[in-house]
Structure 1
Amino acid sequence: MLAQKAWRMIRTLIFTYLVSGVLLTALAFALYKFRLPESQITLGISGVYILSCFMGGFMAGKAMRSRKFLWGLLTGILYFAFLLIMSFLQDRTITADAVRLGTVFAMCSLSAMAGGMIS
């Protein structure tokens, strides 16, 4: 039973990262095509986090069928943790300040929890 839930969560996270990849590719194309200012890029990246985590939380809620909001919340937390780990491995340091990290954590966890609640 536990292995089954772990596999469902892994599939959900893979789906969430695939959605992020597609949305970030579209954002990169918009940056190239329309020469967007940095403020719009930052807003777009925040939108990618929110939409990806929401969809991942929704999928987690559908897959788990009980305590959906907790599974959604876990999806958002794991998504953020993976982003943080990959960022650290790339630079060997965390360059963002605590406020930015807290904001991204809140966006990821709360939007994924909302997705789980709606599922």
Structure 2
Amino acid sequence: MDKKLGAVSGGLGIVRVMAAAWLISVMISAVGMVLASLIFYAVGEGQNRIRVSVYVVVVLAVLIGGIYAGHRIGYRRFLWGLALGAIYYVILCLISVVSGCMAAAGWQFCLPFVLLCLGSGMLGGMLG
């Protein structure tokens, strides 16, 4: 498959695009989590809805970041979206381990979370 006109090539260009896509995903996640927490604080919802809202916010954030990465890089878009989902998940896990929160999460949260990050990143890359 041919590269799109104006597609990013070279290692440094790809690193810049992936870093920008990751930052976009993190900013969208932060804004989404703040909005969700304010809504749940006002309404007083339970744990199940909070967990679902975390999944939804992260899926949307990684999806939009994957769209950006796939569009900017222009070739093998699904792989770059998948890579963005993996990078997002790994960095989030590293932050969780350093802060001491990973032990409380358990596999019931981690396995679906990694699958959602990888899947939404890949879908976003294909849509980009």
Shared fold per TM-score greater than 0.5: yes
Q: Which runs of 5+ in 1 are unaligned?
A: none
**Percent of aligned pairs with the same residue?**
24
Q: 1:84 is matched with which residue?
A: 93
2:105 is paired with a residue of what secondary structure? coil
1:61 equivalenced with 2:70 (yes/no)? yes
Match of 1:31 in 2: 40
Aligned length: 119
2:123 counterpart residue number: 114
Tell which structure's C-alpha radius of gyration is larger: 2
Q: What amino acid sits opposite 2:68 in the alignment?
A: M
Q: Residue 21 of structure 2 corresponds to which residue in structure 1?
A: 12
Q: Please give the TM-score of this superposition, normalised by the length of structure 1.
A: 0.94
- In the alignment, the residues of structure 2 paired with residue 97 and residue 53 of structure 1 have an alpha-carbon distance, to the nearest angstrom, of 22
Structure 1 runs of 4+ aligned residues shifted over 4 Å read none
TM-score with structure 2 setting the length: 0.88
Moved more, 33-42 or 98-107: 98-107
**Gapped regions of structure 2 (runs ≥ 5):** 1-9
> Which residue in 2 is equivalent to 1:51?
60
Deviation at 1:99, TM superposition (A): 4.0
Q: Residue 90 of structure 1: CA displacement?
A: 0.1
Distance 1:21 1:95 in 2: 21
> Which piece of structure 1 moves more, 27-36 or 79-88?
27-36
RMSD: 1.3
Q: In structure 2, how many angstroms separate the alpha carbons of the residues matched to 1:94 and 1:62?
A: 37
Question: Is the 2:93–2:102 contact (alpha carbons within 8 Å) kept by the matching residues of 1?
Answer: no
